[in-house]
Amino acid sequence: MTGICANRVVVVTGAGRGLGRAHALAFAAEGAAVVVNDLGAALDGAGASDAPAREVVAEIEAAGGRAVAHGGDIATAEGASSLIATALETYGRLDTLVNNAGFLRDRMLVNLTEDDWDAVVRVHLRGHFLPLKHAAAHWRAETRAGRPAAARVIGTTSGAGLLGSVGQGNYSAAKAGIVALTLVAAAELGRYGVGVNAIAPAARTRMTEGGFAGLRGLPEDVSPLVVWLGSGGSEGVTGRVFEVEGGRVTVMEGWRRGASAEAPARWTPESAGATARTLLSTTPPPLPPYGSTPTP
């Protein structure tokens, strides 16, 4: 097949439904061979089924593309390792990793259980780290063997990870962690020819249809940028976060040093407080978390 990802091998986690499915189909349409990972869990992470991944593989093959299903739990070392091994054993290479798997267990903080916290942080943050770790080890070995990579990693954060979201403390924390992981990976893996970026998508999926019914974008609106980021054409783009909704793409700007002051001697609590208030008076307020009540 032809396309901007012809001859590339792409792994997409959480690719049985929603955004991941759209990404997998879009990569295949641009010529990539796709490893379709999905545990087949419910919205809260319960249960498992290989049907969603197999159905996406069937769609890709029916359109003339190449794909293989992987039903392992990528938040385990064994599952993440076998995911990367599936790409290498089936197609002989790995060019792009799209980390997308996740689920929700929304609660206000006072009602959030340890299990709700651990489960969501595990699938989103650990589920990004482990596939990335195993893919990076492969690309490092290839570089050391004289076969430098032109590899790409795309993580999936969220507006909740950038601004916070009321009732989603666990999800927001995990998604914020993915941004930091993206920045670290971009700095560490550039020497091996790996570009690492993240998207903050907003689209109508089964994860968002309950609490964010007003979303206008579809998963298929997000995938074109993901495919480009996963292609050779994105060379030199790394350590970036893009917000994508409908037809809009926004480059997100992270923390930057703003107004500051320095004391000639150690601050007292009173002088530190007075200085902080002065600095804040010249600094725009942060954007409010999703679902919050604006301050009067």
The single residue of 171, 172, 234, 290 carrying the catalytic annotation is 171
Q: Is 284 exposed, middle or buried (0-12, 13-18, 19+ CB in 10 A)?
A: exposed
The single residue of 82, 91, 172, 175 carrying the catalytic annotation is 175
Q: Which of 33, 174, 167, 166 has its CA nearest to residue 101?
A: 174
133 is catalytic: no
Q: Which of 76, 100, 113, 107 has its CA nearest to residue 171?
A: 107
- 89-114: burial string, b at 16+ Cβ within 10 Å, e else: eebebbbbbbbbbbbbbbbeeeebee
171 is catalytic: yes
175 is catalytic: yes
Q: How far is CA 245 from CA 40, 216, 224, 228, 248, in A?
A: 25, 8, 12, 16, 5
Spatial neighbors of 146 by CB under 8 A, at least 6 apart, are none
Structure tokens that stand for 127 in this block: 């589920």
The single residue of 82, 91, 158, 172 carrying the catalytic annotation is 158
| Residue numbers annotated as active site | 158, 171, 175
